[in-house]
Amino acid sequence: MEENKQNGRDEIYSAKVKAGKRTYFFDVKSTRSNDYYLTITESKKRFKEDGFSYEKHKIFLYKEDFNKFLEALTSTVNHVKNELMPNVDFSQFDHMHEAEEPAEASSKPSTLDTELKWD
């Protein structure tokens, strides 16, 4: 596994999800004291008269918040699926990305015990 140095931080793991004009990056990084945190970056391609640029938004997620974050995200997604849009077959969106490249990662992610699907 190749490690990258960025601002004194080691990048341990990275996964990329392409979603139309947006790309999401999930990066695990380490601190100088060998602690770990996750950054979630949304990158949007913006077109201008003289070309294009990328607009980025980043969330830093620390280990003490992993479980709370995952629980709230799962609960929110399930609420939308089950309460607000119960008649929508969300599995129809799974095949929409088959023609695209699969999510790229620097190492194979472990299977999470969650109902969320990152596509």
Total-model pTM: 0.66
Q: Which helix (H) or strand (E) holds 19?
A: strand 9-19
Domain ranges of the chain: 4-105
What is the DSSP secondary-structure string of 24-83?
EEEEEEE-TTS-EEEEEEEEEEEEETTEEEEEEEEEEEEGGGHHHHHHHHHHHHHHIIII
Per residue in 64-111, pLDDT (tens digit) is 999 999 999 999 999 999 999 999 999 988 765 555 554 445 554 444
Q: Sort 91 into a burial class: Cβ within 10 Å, 0-12 / 13-18 / 19+.
A: exposed
Beta bridge mates, 43: 23, 56
What is the mean pLDDT of the segment spanning 34-39? Answer: 94
Tokens (6 digits) for 106: 């620097």
Q: What is the pLDDT of residue 68?
A: 97
With bands split at pLDDT 50, 70 and 90, how would you rate the model's confidence at 10?
A: low
Q: Which helix (H) or strand (E) holds 17?
A: strand 9-19
Q: What is the pLDDT of residue 2?
A: 42
Per residue in 43-54, pLDDT (tens digit) is 998 888 888 888
Residue 8 predicted with pLDDT over 90: no
Q: Which residue has the higher pLDDT, 6 or 18?
A: 18
Q: What is the pLDDT of residue 31?
A: 87
Share of the chain above pLDDT 70, in %: 71
CATH annotation of 4-105: 3.10.450.700
Q: What is the pLDDT of residue 7?
A: 55
CB-based burial, 39-54: b 16+ in 10 Å, e otherwise: beeeeeeeeeeeeeee
